[in-house]
Amino acid sequence: MPLRVLKAEATSPSNESPKPHKSGSLCYILGGIIVAIVLIFLYVFRKRTKLQKQTTTATTKEQQVFGKHNESAEVMRMIFSSNQQSGSKEFFSGNLRTISCFDYQTLKKATNNFHADNLLGSGGFGPVYQGTLIDGRLIAVKKLSLNKSQQGEKEFLVEVRTITSIQHKNLVRLVGCCIDGPQRILVYEYMRNRSLDLFIHGNSDQFLNWNTRFQIILGVARGLQYLHEDSHQRIVHRDIKASNILLDDKFQPRIGDFGLARFFPEDQAYLSTQFAGTLGYTAPEYAIRGELSEKADIYSFGVLVLEIICCRKNTEHILSPEKQYLPEYAWKLYENARILDIVDPKLRQDGFVEKDVMQAIHVAFLCLQPHAHLRPPMSQIVALLTFKIEMVTTPLRPAFLDRMPRKDHENHSLKALSQDFTSPIYT
């Protein structure tokens, strides 16, 4: 018996020896798991850091590409009031006009994806398309040309800021605008008879009688009077010409395209600024010396009046030399007591009141005076056109600014122009 007991006690330690071995293995496993977790954490951390760097770089590049557009959007937020009604897409500019902020897809659908069949025309800002909104309203959509965005962007902001601060029956009405990424679009009321140049530059078979022409002349004059004298801010349009005069279904005129307009300080006679506008309509002191005032618009109005009466462009190089520049040709006829020869032959055939036409021509010559201070203000021009005051001033010989042929009329170098004419008075 004692021997058996001793044997049992001898074998007992051999049965318990594996326990410490299992504990060591468990520690190794737990350690491996912890190391794996740490490695995974470091991997995820590095990936996240790298992704953040890539995102930051991409954002920086995007800001560099669209920086000017983001800046415009910020300016637009400053132009419009932040008081937007719930569910409304209309914004108030802080002055007179409430306009809508259109979605790009809405305008794309309204113009059939800006289809060429809906193209109304094209200017410095970009193409203009006819469109129809879901509610049936006709609109004119002026789309910024992206490849001209540096100039167009500025004109877009100027036009929105200007046109939302004024309101007159002879100024075009801005319905809304669109800012979507790089897209900059202006939306106007649609004018059924489009622009004046279609009628007076021979692009339409429709004849305008004298009453209609006089209505257009007087309406433009009243619109300019509002901009220069009656608006709460003095505004110079800088690009009065036939293509910027829009006509509604009753041929009432509305001045459009305020992309070059300037707010003008009340206490300054003129601003020294870089030339912008259309040669042939431009006052000499502005084109040559950069002296801008409302008298530059008045000069342009004088050219426009002659165009409406004659039904031709102010410059026609296909004509004989003495007839090429309209103001110069008109003055020659005036000096020879044959001024009515300048009247549109169709208008002479239809009939007109000679006294009224003579008054309008006389007003045009007063607007074309060589010195800015000799041109009457628009309020006096309106009074003269409506015979509310008598014509007592005899006009001087106008300033003839455009007498040389060129292929690109609107973009001709002013340097070459000033070489041809050494004085701002061209007689």
Which residues are known to be catalytic? 239
Alpha helices in 311-410 (DSSP H): 326-335, 345-350, 354-367, 378-385
> Which residues fall within 8 angstroms of residue 124, CB to CB, at 6 or more apart?
148, 151, 152, 155, 259
99/104 Cα distance (integer angstroms): 15
What 3-state class would DSSP assign to 365?
helix
81/285 Cα distance (integer angstroms): 39
347/130 Cα distance (integer angstroms): 31
- By the 8 A CB rule, do 380 and 388 touch? no
What's the token pair of residue 38?
A: 């740490």
286/65 Cα distance (integer angstroms): 36
**Residue 15, φ and ψ in degrees, nearest 5:** -75, -25
- By the 8 A CB rule, do 290 and 276 touch? no
Give the containing element (helix H, strand E) for 160.
Answer: helix 149-163
